[in-house]
A and B are shown apart, each in its own frame.
Chain A
């Protein structure tokens, strides 16, 4: 089993909602027209004048207990040695079960090759010791990437300090954590 678990802590207090991550990802990963692997979701709560807006970077959560991996009939969806969720194009038959099973709605189908299209945490860059494209370009420095299984990593420390995943009640053990906006 993989003993690394790469994940991301996204500090929503620093996220300007600028979409640089979305565009950098498109450039890095040649994501087809009309599809985004990561995107900013703007959430407004409250009533004027007590209103808050949160910009949240949304993407594949790289769950450790991933519904997509669980439902894939051919084990094409799997965890890499970095603990990220990945799709093996050789095994994938394009049944789309994973797309429907993902509670975060973080997958779609690439019309060019029929494969599930989603964030890979730029696993090829991780393998080279580089950071994902979104993390390097983030103008608010809101994105930290590291090994959650290493208690001394910056991400682990942020999690220890209270960074939370989205919908932990789904028990999918996501590897993407958020530090929520204070307003």
Chain B
């Protein structure tokens, strides 16, 4: 027998002699277990919290043998109500997408830019942590901690504090800062909740949560309509929400503020307001009344295109309704214009003088459940400087709200003003969340970038070090209901499946880097003991909550009303005249500024509004198969008659050009939009070739948007620092 001469037996570690072999090779991965003849699978449901949008719906995950099969809403949760939107249902795609980032990787191609392959190399976590720590330490040494920034979700605030940097960036100034700031100064809270389930009258200024399919709000608004509530929508296009409305007014983009002021004028001059409520719960009514006297319905009709008689009638209906609400989320058409801050102030005033705050069917304050606080073992030494790269230190109220100026960062990095930025950790922020991304790409070329990410999007391509994040289906969290919290409620999630590949959670990643930099004692603790500690306020552990169905309502599910004389405003009441604004030298009233109304578009020119598809969140879902299939690409909606004049056919490619950039995109002809306005759904035009489905589909409306410098920002919106993305006219022509 030849066996004895075989070399490979040596490799296998098997002894062979005289025709027999002895031994078995040891397996690296598979372990012996008692063999089971049964083919029965073991189905369990795990408690989850959706991580796609900020609503964070509580879910149940059907798991078979460690494989996640299906996600369903948790009916105990006031936000999910037992249902999930298209995005939530497609969560499995995020977990199991083959394009997903799986291991830490470094780029081996030093050149960065749009369409440049980073030529990644897989490395071990040890190497990744060492590299990150070494780079950040070097930069901290040479330029100070302030040269390091964190982008995304305020999830690195403790890390930044530990290294002394004030540069905690988030996207809100391209999103909802006008609402947050207006609510803060007038109501002492950052948002209010429409009580759709009970309301009689809904007034929407571009608000389209039907179209975006925000679970609780879409569900409850459907309920309101079913109950016979009246819905009036002002929107340049017939949005899905407008398509459900009894009345739709295709208002001139960016002029909604005039409508609100005229309605205030009608209600106050006709004494239709709730005088008792105003006297008891508000301050500054006289100043408001004085201010709005000049805004007649005729004046508003001229600006907005809505007939004066309708404005008057709607104002009277609104005031007469038993309950009425003006929902306001973020980035609604009108708020991306410089009068946006004043618009929200006006909306709040409108609801306040008609007595609709903290009233059944009106606007409710969020009833957020409390948790035991966790804090770092050691207090961080303090910031090196309070001067921020984005200039947010020049917008004190915005900063008090905890937000940043997003758009100004690109210019600041490029010009190294007020000081140079050298590195950034970018978490959960796609490049397409940034206006005018081409400018940001140029800026990012100057930085050492660590990207903690789930999919190989454009941000990952620009990174020097890519660190794979776990999905919300592989991690645990304690999630306080926030978006639609009519009563305090907490949802808890457990990992539905174990983290795939070598993915790690953000907190683990940051802790490991911090450890190597010797600053981990300043980080917030994390892990299951922290979650138990948070919940111990209620005498419960994470496990207990999961045993109770994953969701607890510590004070019951009854809606309790807040005392409107004990708000967190300086007066404790609703401040129709916002004293906090006055203190900082800003205009405390919702004054209209004519100079911020766009000029009428000439032939071939258009107002621009943006939206997004119900199946996608921002630019982050386009690559996922189940939702990709529904809307594989975006388009620019153009009114049929206008298109006929321009000779544009349905489906034909057109060039849309703004003062800041241009895109090529297919035209969709429709009757459901003003003839002088075009609309582009956001989130497309991905140029990361690593995204096998989304790559090169559609175009990014952000390419048309400005990334305003801090000076420009201060000029347009000195209070909330919003970017006013759509305060521009675009030109459309055949490609």
Contact = CB atoms under 8 A, between A and B. Distances in A.
Nearest to A49: B250
A55 B222 CA distance: 13
B226 A14 contact: yes
Contact of A53 (B84, B240, B640): B240
Interface string B640-670: 1100000000000000000000000000001
30 contacts: A13-B225, A17-B211, A17-B240, A17-B614, A18-B218, A20-B83, A23-B615, A24-B89, A27-B70, A27-B71, A27-B89, A47-B671, A48-B671, A48-B673, A49-B250, A51-B671, A52-B243, A55-B240, A55-B243, A136-B73, A136-B83, A137-B83, A137-B84, A137-B89, A138-B83, A139-B215, A139-B219, A141-B222, A141-B223, A181-B243
Contacts of B626: 22-23, 26-27
Interface string A131-172: 001001111111000000000000000000000000000000
A18 B70 contact: no
B694 to A, nearest CB: 15
Interface in A1-37: 11, 13-14, 16-20, 22-24, 26-28, 33-34, 36
Contacts of B674: 48
- Top 4 A-B pairs, shortest CB-CB distance: A18-B213, A14-B222, A140-B222, A23-B89
Interface string B49-87: 000000000000000000001111100000001111110
A16 B213 contact: yes
Given A23-B627, A139-B85, A183 B244 contact: yes
Greatest chain A CB density within 10 A among B73, B210, B641 is at B210
A140 B248 CA distance: 20
B570 interface: no
Contacts of A129: none
Given A16-B211, A137-B73, A140-B222, A51 B672 contact: yes
Interface in A46-74: 46-49, 51-55
B92 interface: yes
B90 interface: yes
Interface string B566-607: 000000000000000000000000000000000000000000
A112 interface: no
Contacts of A27: 69-71, 89-90, 92, 626
Interface of A: 11, 13-14, 16-20, 22-24, 26-28, 33-34, 36, 44, 46-49, 51-55, 133, 136-142, 181-183
Interface string B612-655: 00110000000001110110000000011100000000000000
Contact of B243 (A20, A28, A136, A183): A183
Contacts of B262: none
B705 to A, nearest CB: 26
A20 B85 contact: yes
Contacts of B223: 14, 141
Nearest to A11: B226
A16 B630 CA distance: 15
B615 A19 contact: yes
A176 to B, nearest CB: 19
A16 B222 contact: yes
Contact of B614 (A16, A26, A133): A16
Contacts of A44: 670-672
A18 B82 contact: no
B88 interface: yes
A48 B641 contact: yes
B215 A48 contact: no
Greatest chain B CB density within 10 A among A11, A16, A54 is at A16
Contact of B218 (A54, A139, A181): A139
B630 A19 contact: yes
- Classify the secondary structure of B's interface with A: mixed
A22 B222 contact: no
A34 B626 CA distance: 9
B614 A18 contact: yes
Contacts of A183: 243-246
Greatest chain B CB density within 10 A among A46, A54, A140 is at A140
B549 interface: no
B230 to A, nearest CB: 12
B152 interface: no
A17 B630 CA distance: 11
Contacts of A14: 222-223, 225-226
A174 to B, nearest CB: 23
Q: What range describes how many residues of B lie at the interface?
A: 35 or more
A54 B89 CA distance: 23
B89 A20 contact: yes
Interface string B205-249: 000001101010011001101100000000000101001111010
Contacts of B70: 24, 27-28, 133
A57 to B, nearest CB: 13
Greatest chain B CB density within 10 A among A11, A23, A24 is at A23
A50 B64 CA distance: 51
Contacts of A13: 222, 225-226, 244
B675 A137 contact: no
Given A16-B614, A53-B672, 14 more contacts: A13-B225, A16-B210, A16-B240, A19-B86, A19-B627, A20-B84, A20-B86, A27-B92, A33-B629, A44-B670, A48-B250, A48-B641, A53-B243, A139-B213
Greatest chain A CB density within 10 A among B81, B84, B639 is at B84
Contacts of A51: 238, 671-672
Nearest to B213: A18
A136 B222 CA distance: 15
A142 to B, nearest CB: 7
A36 B615 CA distance: 15
Contacts of B72: 136-137
A52 to B, nearest CB: 7
A11 B244 CA distance: 12
Contacts of B215: 139
A139 B213 CA distance: 8
Greatest chain B CB density within 10 A among A18, A138, A140, A181 is at A18
Nearest to B670: A44
Contacts of A23: 86, 89-90, 615, 626-627, 630
Contacts of A49: 248, 250
Interface in B667-694: 670-675
Interface in B246-264: 246, 248, 250
B625 to A, nearest CB: 7
A166 to B, nearest CB: 19
A18 B243 contact: no
Given A49-B250, A183-B243, A19 B614 contact: yes
A141 B72 CA distance: 14
A141 B75 CA distance: 13
Contacts of A34: 629
Contacts of A17: 210-211, 240, 614
B643 to A, nearest CB: 12
A139 B212 CA distance: 11
A44 B673 CA distance: 12
Greatest chain A CB density within 10 A among B86, B90, B215, B640 is at B86
Contacts of A28: 70
Contacts of A24: 70, 84, 89
A167 B223 CA distance: 28
Nearest to A12: B244
Contacts of A48: 250, 639-641, 671-675
A14 B250 CA distance: 22
A44 B82 CA distance: 31
A45 to B, nearest CB: 8
A26 B89 CA distance: 9
B78 to A, nearest CB: 14
A52 B671 CA distance: 9
